[in-house]
Amino acid sequence: MSWAQSLWKQYDPINRIMFPAQGRAASYDVKGKPFVGELQVRDVVYKTIVAHMPVHVPGGMCAPPVRIDVPCMIVLRADLGTVDPNTRRKSNRCRARCTVVYLHGNGTDIGGVAEEAKALSRDLECHVVVPEYPGYGLAGGSANEDSVDAATHAGCRVATECLGTPLERLIVYGRSVGTGPAAAAAARMAAAVAPGALASRGTTRTARRSSSTAAAARRATSFSPARRRRPR
């Protein structure tokens, strides 16, 4: 990439059009309120939390590399388990089929898609991770191609490093402007191990509908999230 291309990519005015909601007041606070909490449906508890993952954003022609903190909303499927009639012991094995990394549209922050993320978790029996775009909500920095790709990487790290999701059970789901970073993330991961599925929902003719996400989730078997795994 030439210096002119690098400079244009960094200060491209199209970024303000592509990401119009950056700089708006966040719909949540530092603790994730009002969308954090628990919901019990029969023997399953869906717990919504907010975690923060630091990521590195590469620099450009006139800007040094920066390290930003990316808030990630996580909807966890936590099975209460059943009591074995023989041993009288309770099994707490998680039956989540997969983890969906959901890249939201450009008109809202992670708080605006909280209910949709919870519905995905319940309907697909999975964990859902929603990373925040830089400049949106409580995330620092500004949204552009590189910084949004870095935020996407943060969401995938939460899924694989913190939740212990194998790549073959990871679904990258992009909506609207999120289809671009979703495709880019899937292409990068495919160099090692391809993710379980790439699904997109947008205005392009080639966009797959959210039913692709449902089909991939139902094909996946359950896995247990890793314990005591911390982001590096």
Is the pLDDT at 7 greater than 60? The verdict is no
The confidence score (pLDDT) of residue 93 equals 60
pLDDT over 70 at 33, yes or no: yes
Tell me how far apart the alpha carbons of residues 17 and 37 are, in angstroms, rounded to a whole number: 34
- 3 state SS of 101: strand
Instruction: Give the pLDDT of residue 204.
Output: 46
Average pLDDT, the chain: 79
* pLDDT tier, 144 (very low <50, low <70, confident <90, very high otherwise): confident
Q: How much is the average pLDDT of 132-152?
A: 91
The pTM of the full predicted model, rounded to 2 decimals, is: 0.79
Phi, psi for 217 (deg, rounded to 5): -65, -40
DSSP 62: S
pLDDT in tens, 80-124: 665 555 666 665 566 788 999 999 999 999 999 999 999 999 999
Q: How far apart are CA 130 and CA 48, in angstroms?
A: 11
What's the mean pLDDT in 174-197?
87
Which pair of structure tokens corresponds to residue 198? Answer: 């790439």
Between these two residues, 102 and 12, which has the higher pLDDT value?
A: 102
Neighbours of 9 (CB within 10 A): 16
| Those residues with Cβ within 8 angstroms of residue 219's Cβ, 6 or more apart along the chain or in another chain | none
Whole-number pLDDT of residue 101: 97
- 18/179 Cα distance (integer angstroms): 12
- In angstroms, the first-to-last Cα distance of the chain is 30
